[in-house]
Amino acid sequence: ILERFGMKDCKPVSTPMDPGLRLTKDMSPKTSSDAALMKDIPYLAAVGALMYLATTTIKNKA
């Protein structure tokens, strides 16, 4: 997944973001230049891949 999204050489961290952080529309890009920077980044595909990984690698506790 990291290679697919160009993050293969990123340094690992235990928690890159505050787990209690609530994302809102107010945090979205305000300027056209900020929006242009984010336009070509496949956020939805990355989140989907991580969700798939998280749900398919959980050990069956039944």
Q: Express each pLDDT in 15-39 by its tens digit.
A: 778 889 998 999 989 999 999 988 8
Domain count, the chain: 1
Distance from C-alpha of 13 to C-alpha of 40, rounded to nearest angstrom: 25
Q: What is the structure's pLDDT at 12?
A: 87
Q: What is the structure's pLDDT at 31?
A: 94
- Answer whether residue 57 shows pLDDT above 60: yes
Q: What is the structure's pLDDT at 19?
A: 83
Report if residue 61 sits inside a domain.
Answer: yes
Q: Which two tokens stand for residue 40?
A: 């070509």
Q: The domain containing residue 60 runs over which residues?
A: 1-7+33-62
Report if residue 47 sits inside a domain.
Answer: yes
Report if residue 48 sits inside a domain.
Answer: yes
Distance from C-alpha of 20 to C-alpha of 38, rounded to nearest angstrom: 23
